Amino acid sequence: MSLPWRNNLLSSKQKIVQVHYWKKMMKETHEVVGKLHGVVLLIHNSVEFSDIIDFLNKIRDDEQLLVVYLSLINSYSRIREVLKENPLKSKQLFVVDCVSGFVVELKDIHDCVYRKPPINLDELKELLLKNIASQNPDIVVVDSMSQLINFSVPTEDELSKFYLFLHSLKENILGLSEDSIILLYDDKIGQLQNLPTISVDLILKLEVIRDAPRWRG
């Protein structure tokens, strides 16, 4: 069963015509985007950070929430630039920057820590759990799992390790973030051959539609 949510967005470069969120239910629940809690694992290679902000702004928009954003693709400086044009409403963002720390040694600040990128799922889980324990967030976002696994053509070994990662993460966050694990994916990376459903509470498909740029001759 899938349900679309649509809205109009604007960006400085292109006007977004529509955004769809497709929901596949793993267990009966009445709480969807507007009431999400837990760990959001993104699977994509084309979603922009402004799209993620739009998604986060739809979550419990009447509450002051702390979001831990563990980034494998966006640097803290890039995130700050995007936030100037696309503010994150009613939420505080704490960034785990795994991009800049790979290039140069930077000092941690009040809303960002710099860490080397995890090279496997075990390192990712350890990094996640440390920051969940230290920050006690309401929502955790990992962007993106596609940096560690090619979900279009995953091997059996990769899928097996990913299922173990999900199961172990689920066990370790019991009592934290209301122990929910959400997959948010964009299949512009290609048709996903295997959507992991074990130990996952909710699967959302993110579909961003932008109008074509107008060329002037």
Q: What is the pLDDT along the chain (217 residues), one digit of tens a residue?
A: 444 444 444 444 566 655 655 555 544 433 567 777 788 888 876 788 998 998 899 888 888 999 999 999 999 999 999 999 999 988 999 999 999 966 667 899 999 999 999 999 999 999 999 999 999 998 999 999 989 988 878 888 988 899 899 888 888 876 554 567 888 877 665 556 666 677 787 777 777 666 655 555 4
pTM over 0.85: no
- Beta-carbon contacts of 166 under 8 Å, excluding residues fewer than 6 positions away, are 181, 196, 198, 199, 200
CA-closest candidate to residue 174, choices 39, 41, 56, 23: 39
Rounded-to-integer distance, Cα 214 and Cα 217, Å: 10
Torsion of CA 161, 165, 167, 173, to 10 degrees: 180
| Cβ–Cβ under 8 Å, residues 117 and 89 | no
Strands 139-143 and 9-10: unpaired
Where b means 16+ CB within 10 Å and e means fewer, 146-184 reads bbbbebeebeeebbebbbebbeebbebbeebbebbbbbb
Q: How far, in Å, are 39, 54, 62, 208 from residue 59 at the CA level? A: 13, 9, 9, 17
Instruction: Note the pLDDT of residue 191.
Output: 57
Domains and CATH numbers, the chain: 23-204 (3.40.50)
